[in-house]
Amino acid sequence: MIACPFCHTPLAETAPSCPRCTLDLQRTRALLGPVPRLSSSGLSDLTQSLTPADERAIHKATAAFHRRFPQCRILIVLSHFAPQFPLGVHLFWLFNTAGLSGQSSKHGHNRDILIGLDPGQKRSGLTVGYGLEPFLPQTALEQVLDSASPHFKADHIATGLTTLIAQLAQLMEGICRDLPDILGLDHPLVTTPSPSTEF
C-alpha cells in the first residue's frame, strides 16, 4: 500500500488519483511546471552545492551500492524545491515525469530509489519504486534519513549523502537476510559482498 505524497492518504498502486485531495500526476505537472533537465549519471546538482571532490565521493558510494544490489539504482537530485509543496510531491513529480527509470523498470519492476535534497530549505526525502515498497517500510526509510540529517544540517552534503547510501545498503542487506523467513523459503538469499525529511 502506498500513500498520497501530499496528504498521506493510503492509496492502491492502481488508484488514478487520491480520493481525499484529488492529487494525480496531471495535477502535479500543472502545479510544478516543466521538469528540469537531469544528469544521466544519476546525480543532478541543480543548486551547484557540490564540489568535484564531493561528486566523486557520492559517485563512489552509489557505485558500491549498485555493485551490491545491481537490481536497484540510486538517483539523487539537489534542487531548490518550491516551499509551498511537501517534498514528497516534488519527488513523486520527478520520479514519474523526469524519465529517470527505463522502459523495463515500470510498476512492480521499478526498484529505483530517488533521494531529493534542498540544501537551502534544509529538506531531504526519498521515494522508492513500486518494486521495493513492499519490502522497505516507511519507518525504516525515515530512520535512514534521520541518520544523515545531522550532516545535512551542518551543510556537509556529501557526507550526508554517503551516510544515507551506506544506511540504505544496511537496510537492504537486512531485508535480503530476512526475506527467506518472510516468504517461507528453505534457503538463504545471498547478496554480492562489498569490495571493501526536514533535517
- Tens digit of each residue's pLDDT (9 = 90 or more) over 82-132: 999 999 899 988 988 877 765 445 555 678 999 999 999 999 999 998 888
- How many Å apart are CA 193 and CA 176, to the nearest integer? 12
83 three-state secondary structure: coil
pLDDT of residue 68: 93
| Closest among 28, 40, 108, 27 to 77, alpha carbons compared | 40
List of the chain residues with pLDDT < 50 = 103-104, 189, 191-196, 199
pLDDT of residue 67: 94
DSSP 87-139: HHHHHHHHHHHS--S-TTS-GGG--EEEEEEETTTTEEEEEE-TTTTTTS-HH
Structure letter (DSSP) for residue 60:
H
- How many Å apart are CA 38 and CA 22, to the nearest integer? 28
Q: State the amino acid at position 65 in one-letter form.
A: F
Using CA atoms of 71, 95, 168, 149 in order, give the dihedral in degrees to the nearest 10. Answer: 170
pLDDT of residue 47: 96
What are the backbone dihedrals phi and psi of residue 84, each rounded to the nearest 5 degrees, phi first? -80, -5
pLDDT of residue 105: 52
| Pure H helices in the chain | 25-32, 52-68, 87-97, 138-153, 157-183
pLDDT of residue 178: 65
| Closest among 89, 83, 117 to 5, alpha carbons compared | 89
Q: Is 94 exposed, middle or buried (0-12, 13-18, 19+ CB in 10 A)?
A: buried
- How many Å apart are CA 112 and CA 73, to the nearest integer? 5
For the chain, the structural domain boundaries read 41-183
Q: pTM for this one?
A: 0.79
CATH of domain 41-183: 3.10.310.50
CA-to-CA separations, 105 to 16, 65, 110, 121, in angstroms, rounded: 19, 18, 4, 31
